Amino acid sequence: MRIFALVDCNNFYASCERVFDPSLKERAIVILSNNDGCIVARSNEAKSLGIPMGAPIFKQKAVIKKHNVAVFSSNYQLYGDMSKRVMDSLNLFTPDMEVYSIDEAFLRLDYLQPRNLHEYCEIIREKVLQWTGIPVSIGIGPTKVLAKIANHVAKKQTDGVFDIQCLQKQDEILKSLDVDKVWGIARSWSERLNSMSIYKASELRDASPPIIRKHLSVVGERILRELKGQSCIDLEAIQPKKNIMSSKSFGKPLTKKEPIEEALSNYAARACEKLRKQNSRAQAVHVFIQTNGFRETDRQYNNVITHTLTTPTSDTRIIIEAAKFCLSRIYKHGYRYKKTGIMLLDLIPISLEQKQLFVDFDHRPGDHLMKVVDHINKDHGPDTLFFGAQGVTRAWKMRCGSRSPRYTTQWDELLMVC
Amino acid sequence: MIAVTSTALKIAKPCPLPLALCHVEAGFPSPADDYMEGSLDLNEHVIKHPSATYFVRASGDSMIGVGIFNGDLLIVDRSLEASSGKIIIAEVDGQLTVKRLLKLNDRFSLQSENSSYPPIELQEGNEVVVWGVVTHVIHDLL
């Protein structure tokens, strides 16, 4: 029988901030989205103040002031590095793991057969806390869906670990859990289930598999079987991404084409870096541009365009050219633009590349140049070397007014102790 | 030094400095070739637990007695157990500080290595909140 553990970092972003600033320990913390617009993460204290997830920060100004809530811009360099540390620490306990998100991982523990599973997970938890400073909760179950549910319960346990394998306890929990809280049940699905008088997780578990399959496809049936304790979804190996997206909102609305082009070139360069990191080339680019839909007084315009490349490439110069060409086709004068972005499509691993019959393209000079660029930027920090199209002043850049220091990735922002 | 300054905390990345190098000229192989041993990596020397190791900057002169000067780089390993005599990063009143942990007659104190700073005595029952154990100091001589 399989045994899964879902390890989930508690209030991950807020916890990362606390590791390097202990004075934040019992203080309410909120973290803002890219561009400092909305609240994307909260500490427990902030949750109990009733500050909602996703709320625009300007609407929460009063609560924040009254309760001295600490407000941070998101510091993805720090969160990314701390996530890697948590995952690396977990990896020491079992090689069978799947990093599911920045703050969650599934582990398989049945191969290890620890004598006392609960105790073993407590040790994992203690070690991760000591090594990284990040508190985690661990849910144990015979399937991934059940492990995920066990994790909800673990969050409320004092020792942060909960094992849902005991059938009696399992039944109690599933009977009180709303079906939309089950992993994989999207809103539209839970509405459909409700219309079939299925409201609780236990009712989905006890429903007829063929009927669920008819309504929610084989994916829905798999969730049902997982609720029954039959493991259908194993750990997934990380696969190279099929598309790469890079896009952000501007710090302020832009009307002229040049700064938008500059921003887009930056996102293109970033996307190409990711593309080369996974040893792939793109066969098409997709560019979009948007005005701010929330500003009802503004005239609205959104457009997208996809452009096929003659030869698959990972050369930033070619992709930037293509992106600029796309933009010139969809940009219209007279609008206040909020956001642009690029998606690289139809990615193929370099190892599977097909030689073309009529186009004889030599990738070597471009590959070599890109390798040098990546190498320099890796050793000396991002953007040490960049392309002219990316611009120098970058006035369109996102706001990140209250970002904490990038303690673990920048030499001049290290933690200071006296 | 190259190993540490080369990249932003990419701890696991080796930065090899070859122990021996042989330029093959005119076809005579170096007699040292058979003795090549690989390379030395400074990270390997100072970092035993990459995911638990943090770089921290020292500020002030409270630890000059043990060779920690203002602006020095401290290598801190959070996976090590703190014990009496070790130099640690500890949490005191919401601040992080570098001090020597000492245990005398069952009571812990945090000692400076500079006579102008009094030790921080911990009240009975109060535990020291240890952030990490300092394993190395890197001091620039230039």
Task: Provide the shortest C-alpha distance from residue B97 to chain A (in Å).
Answer: 5
The answer to whether the beta carbons of residues A270 and A395 sit under 8 Å apart is no
Rounded Cα distance between A8 and A160, Å, is: 10
Alpha carbon distances (Å) from A381 to A247, A315, A373, A411, A412: 21, 20, 11, 10, 12
pLDDT given at position A354: 65
Both structure tokens of A207: 């429903």
E strands within A94-160? 97-101, 104-108, 136-141
User: Pick from A130, A411, A415: which is nearest to B79 by CB?
Assistant: A130
Q: Is B30 a catalytic residue?
A: no
A277: three-class secondary structure by DSSP: helix
A193 contacts A179 by C-beta, under 8 angstroms: yes
**pLDDT of A31 strictly over 50:** yes
Q: Quick one: what percent of chain A has pLDDT higher than 70? A: 97
Q: A268-277, A390-399, B31-40: which has the highest mean pLDDT?
A: A268-277
Is residue A380 classed as helix, strand or coil in its secondary structure? helix
Would you give the end-to-end CA distance of chain B in angstroms?
Answer: 12
> How far apart, in whole angstroms, are the C-alpha atoms of residue A81 and residue A51?
27
User: Given the structure tokens 């900057």, which residue do they identify?
Assistant: B57
The A residues from 63 to 102 touching B (CB cutoff 8 Å) are: 81, 84-86, 88-89
A56-72 mean pLDDT:
93
* ∠ CA A138-A142-A146, rounded to 5°: 60
User: Which B residues in the span 14-53 are in contact with A, Cβ-Cβ below 8 Å?
Assistant: 49-52
| Of B8 and A14, the one with more pLDDT | A14
pLDDT, one tens digit per residue, over A167-217 is 999 999 999 999 999 998 988 899 999 999 999 999 999 999 999 999 999
Give yes or no for a contact between A413 and A285, defined as CB atoms under 8 angstroms apart: no
Mutation to test the A interface, candidates B4, B54, B66, B127, most A Cβ within 10 Å: B54
Residue B128: alpha-carbon gap to chain centroid: 20
**Half-sphere exposure at residue B7, Cβ-oriented, CA atoms within 13 angstroms:** 16
User: Residue B6: its pLDDT value, please?
Assistant: 32
Marked catalytic residue, from B30, B84, B86, B99: B99
- Decide if A235 contacts A212 (C-beta within 8 A): no
Please give the Cα distance from A236 to A376 (Å, whole number). Answer: 33
Confidence of residue A360 (pLDDT cuts 50, 70, 90): low
Q: Do A409 and B52 touch (CB under 8 A)?
A: no
Token pair, residue A337, equals 């633009």
Residue A404 touches chain B, beta carbons under 8 Å: no
User: Nearest CA to B123 among B136, B106, B141, B99?
Assistant: B106
Contact in structure between A347 and A283 (CB atoms under 8 Å): yes
CB A302 within 8 A of CB A291: yes
Contact B19/B33 with Cβ under 8 angstroms? no
Residues 127-186, chain A: which have Cβ within 8 Å of B? Answer: 127, 130-133
Please check whether residue A377 is in contact with residue A51, taking contact to mean a CB–CB distance below 8 angstroms.
no
Query: What is the widest separation between alpha-carbon atoms in chain A?
Result: 69
Q: What is the pLDDT of residue A238?
A: 62
CB contact under 8 A, A418 and B60: yes
> Is B10 labeled as catalytic in the residue annotation?
no
Of B9, B74, B96, the CB nearest to A408: B9
Cβ–Cβ gap A410/B8 under 8 Å? yes
User: Position of tokens 């832009």?
Assistant: A254
Model confidence at B15: pLDDT above 60: no
What's the DSSP call for residue A183? Answer: T
pLDDT of residue B84: 93
Residue, of B10 and A233, whose pLDDT is higher? A233
Residue A33 above 90 pLDDT?
no
What local confidence, expressed as pLDDT, does residue B93 receive?
A: 83
In this predicted model, what pLDDT tens digit does every residue of B19-51 receive, in sequence order?
554 454 566 667 777 777 778 889 989 999 999
A113 touches chain B (CB under 8 A): no
Helix (H) / strand (E) containing A396: none
Would you state the structure tokens that stand for residue A265, as one six-digit string? 């070139």
Contact list, B8 vs chain A (CB under 8 Å): 381, 409-411
Predicted complex ipTM: 0.77
Spatial separation of the C-alpha atoms in residues A246 and A269, rounded to whole Å:
9
Q: Which two tokens stand for residue A347?
A: 């990615």
pLDDT at B7: 34
Distance CA A163, CA A180 (A): 21
Q: Tokens 């059938």 identify what position? A: A167
Q: Using DSSP, state whether A323 is helix, strand or coil.
A: helix
Q: Output the CA torsion sign for A245, A251, A255, A259.
A: negative
